[in-house]
Structure 1
Amino acid sequence: PGSCVMVTLEGTRPMLVEIQALVDSGGPSPRRLSVGLDRDRLAMLLAVLHRHAGIACFDQDVFVNAVGGVKISEPAADLAVLAAIVSSLRSQPLPDKLVMFGEVGLAGEIRPVQRGQERLKEAAKLGFTQAIVPAANRPKQKIAGMEIHPVHRLDEAIRFFREN
């Protein structure tokens, strides 16, 4: 629980990165710590998670890490960060061969990211069989061996996590 793989871009090359999260009981002032990701963005994502998915972490310590010392500055990590947080909070692992990417907007919408097709092809090449992506990044052509789950809103993605 608390782990999700996402596809980021290193320059123009797609690269898979594991996002880890640990959500634990907090004291009187819960901590928010992120390594490799922007701390302000994490605070914003937690507010969106509460407002648009009904999942509150305001009384929990939340730690997020991009494995391997990778620094991720693009918002394409948003969906994977929230998936890892929900997975940790519920002690429910995500499927092994699942990858995802997508920017999460303040209204809970899942926004498209650059080079979605290339990201999916790289994930498929490395053996991933499922992907959750912004609906606008749905591939124009089928990617062999990859089941794509396009989502418009955060609550759709959370529902997928619960059901799988």
Structure 2
Amino acid sequence: MNDEANRPRIERASALAAELRAILGKLKRKLREHGGRSDLAPSQVSVLLRLEKDGPAAVSSLARAEGMRPQSMSAIITSLLESGLVSGSPDPNDGRQTLMSLSRECQKFLKEGRAARQDWLTTTIQEKLSVQDQEKLAAVLELLARLVED
């Protein structure tokens, strides 16, 4: 197919992409509203999620993983320490370093936030979508999963 014949397909895909991004952005904001503590910066959230996923880590390792300078990561960690969301303990393999990990308060915060978002979304789906619409949503989710497959 030449470019001119393909143009309607490209324009349709572009319009779908724009609409999908807009809708997902709204959904993300709604989930954030219903998930609790929203006063954290995106960089702080990213560090907390990395610690949750990968486990305790030194500030220098976190900086490398997040693609930032150690000084910038130190500022983020300091604010998280002050908020009681992370704690530090000596690295058993290198006593000169401190391993940062999630505090119990943070683990509870993450768990409760996820539960609140899940509850809100479950209730919203039940209230706004018929059984048939829920089946359509299930089919759409399969398509979305295909979009992000590697």
Interval of TM-score (by shorter of Structure 1 and Structure 2)? under 0.3
In our comparison, the structure showing a higher alpha carbon Rg is: 2
Compute the TM-score of the two structures, normalised by the length of structure 2.
0.26
Q: Which has the higher helix share?
A: 2
Determine which structure has greater relative contact order: mean sequence separation of CA pairs < 8 Å that are 6+ residues apart, divided by chain length. 1
Compute the TM-score of the two structures, normalised by the length of structure 1.
0.24
Q: Which has the higher strand share?
A: 1
